Homo-oligomer: A and B are copies of this chain.
Amino acid sequence: MDDNITDRITASFSAQTMMHTIGAELSEVSNGLVRITCPILEGTRQHQGFGHAGLTFSIGDSAAGYAALTMLPLDMEVVTAEIKLNLLAPARGDRLIATGRVIKAGKRLSVVTAEVHAEKDGVQTLIAILQGTMVPVPR
């Protein structure tokens, strides 16, 4: 990976205050793949005590968006045009891990997916899959 690309993504990630609020960390940046992890904090739960769908969405969407950004010129940013989430299991455990991937990079649109796993005692369970579209925009 070009260090400039990693630096750009790290800087953009740090500027997202939502990522701080939910305790998220950027744990991997490679070409067309970005991984974000977060704990399931006391303050990010739904009514049954599991992680909120909004938590799962937030890291899944961000991982997918940054995956798209790894394949774009350095003077670009991305915004989410649309994204869809299917939930497979409750977000329960020690932490969540979102892995975003680029399916097709484009100048006008990039199509992306993400998987979100919940990890409990070292065992990972797939809890959500996402499929969406990112739009490159000038920084």
Contact = CB atoms under 8 A, between A and B. Distances in A.
A47 B129 contact: no
Contacts of A87: 79-82
Interface stretch (A26-34, A37-45, A116-124): A37-45
Interface residues of A, number: 48
Interface string A64-98: 00000000000001011111111111000000000
Number of copies: 4
A16 B52 contact: yes
A99 interface: no
Interface string A19-59: 01110000000000000000000111111100011110110
A54 B68 CA distance: 18
Contacts of A13: 47
A5 interface: no
A39 to B, nearest CB: 13
A50 to B, nearest CB: 9
Most buried by B among A16, A17, A54, A108: A54
**Nearest 5 interchain pairs by C-beta:** A54-B58, A84-B84, A18-B52, A15-B47, A21-B43
10 contacts: A16-B45, A18-B44, A54-B54, A57-B61, A80-B85, A80-B87, A82-B86, A84-B85, A86-B111, A88-B103
